Chains A and B, each alone.
Chain A
Amino acid sequence: LGPLEPAPGEHKLQYNYCLWFAKKGCHRTSITQVKATEQEYGKSLHIVGRCASVEQWWSLYCHLIKPTALKPYRELHLFKSGIKPMWEDPGNAKGGKWVIKLRKNKIDRAWETVCMAMLGEQFLVGPEICGVVLCTRFPEDLLSVWNRTATDQASTARIRDTLRRILNLPPNTPMEYKPHCDSLKKS
């Protein structure tokens, strides 16, 4: 992919982003052949579009169907350019993710809100954010925010608190932090 620039008059984003789509579920099926599974998962990821400005983001977003219109076990990944949305990518390998389960009636708005917070640098954790992921399931969907360094407690706490605030989550909403190395060991 060639370089991407904001057009004249557009509002540049702090980072360029890539939107990916995958048909697989959040959990991988193969237990024994990690490498084969990694390749298989990589192949299931398709780039939908890219954006370097707010206007390019909306132009992309307005062409997408809403998360509630997606079938179960579909994934949307909005990641910084240069980071592939896989645990094994060097940008993610030492990182982890906050995962929130959301009812279908909340997911459209929540996905839009989390994407906007990332694009607008609302998490205030410098370069720590890698991307956000939506996994459609049944009856609830999963929304996750991936960061670079699972051991960076200040950043992970700030991401959690920002998520609670922007999504207006009740204080008792379960939120789980999963380091990717644990996910890799399990698979």
Chain B
Amino acid sequence: GTRIIYDRAFLMNLKNSPLSR
């Protein structure tokens, strides 16, 4: 099946999302 791949920039962008707190 498809693997869920995220790069560093994408992950860093989500660091400050309201859902991440």
Contact = CB atoms under 8 A, between A and B. Distances in A.
Interface of A: 7, 9-14, 54-55, 58-59, 62, 113, 116-117, 119-122, 126, 166
Interface string B1-21: 001111110111011010111
Given A9-B19, A10-B19, A54-B20, 9 more contacts: A14-B3, A14-B5, A58-B21, A62-B20, A113-B8, A116-B6, A117-B8, A120-B7, A166-B8
Contact of B11 (A9, A59, A119, A126): A119
Nearest to A60: B20
Nearest to B17: A55
Nearest to A115: B11
Contacts of A58: 14-15, 17, 20-21
Contacts of A54: 6, 11, 14, 20
A54 B15 CA distance: 8
Interface centre among B5, B7, B8, B11 (most CB of A within 10 A): B11
A122 B15 contact: no
A121 B4 contact: yes
A120 B6 CA distance: 4
A55 B5 CA distance: 15
A160 B6 CA distance: 19
A77 B12 CA distance: 21
A116 to B, nearest CB: 5
B5 A121 contact: yes
B20 A59 contact: yes
Nearest to B19: A55
A76 B6 CA distance: 22
Given A10-B19, A62-B21, A55 B4 contact: no
